[in-house]
Amino acid sequence: NAGVTQTPKFRILKIGQSMTLQCTQDMNHNYMYWYRQDPGMGLKLIYYSVGAGITDKGEVPNGYNVSRSTTEDFPLRLELAAPSQTSVYFCASSYSKTGGGYTFGSGTRLTVV
């Protein structure tokens, strides 16, 4: 019963470095999402995908890129990391466009120094 798996769980980056946050789901969900959560704030949508090969920007996409080559995987790429990207990142998936079966990963805590 894996659900949504995110790696790594923790990462420290230096300013200007790049990295990819991995997300994979085994529920055959078409819809996948990336969120960030800053302390004391709600989750903000970064990017989402409605199926393999289709992605779109959310509320806070600047500084990030995504791809969706398979149904299972939805990696998030950070280019030229900045301190403002210090946050907890959550990947999620759902089986319907109205949010049925919404399932979250356990998160990646990223610190940029």
By the criterion CB under 8 A, which residues form the site for other proteins?
Answer: 4, 33, 35, 40-45, 48, 58, 90, 92, 97-100, 102-107
Distance separating the N- and C-terminal Cα atoms of the chain: 36
> Is the Cβ of residue 15 or residue 50 nearer to other proteins in the bound state?
50
Give, as one character, the DSSP assignment of residue 67.
-
The nearer residue to other proteins, 82 or 103, going by C-beta atoms, is 103
Q: What is the nearest approach in angstroms of other proteins to the Cβ of residue 43? A: 4
In Å, what is the CA distance from 56 to each residue of 33, 34, 68?
10, 11, 11
Q: In the bound complex, what is the minimum distance in angstroms from residue 32's beta carbon to other proteins?
A: 13
Identify which of residues 14 and 97 has a Cβ nearer to other proteins in the complex.
97
Shortest Cβ 102–other proteins spacing (Å): 5
Tokens of 113: 């120094």
* Smallest distance from other proteins to CB 56, Å: 10
- Nearest to other proteins of 7, 18 (CB atom): 7
State the Rg of the chain over Cα: 13
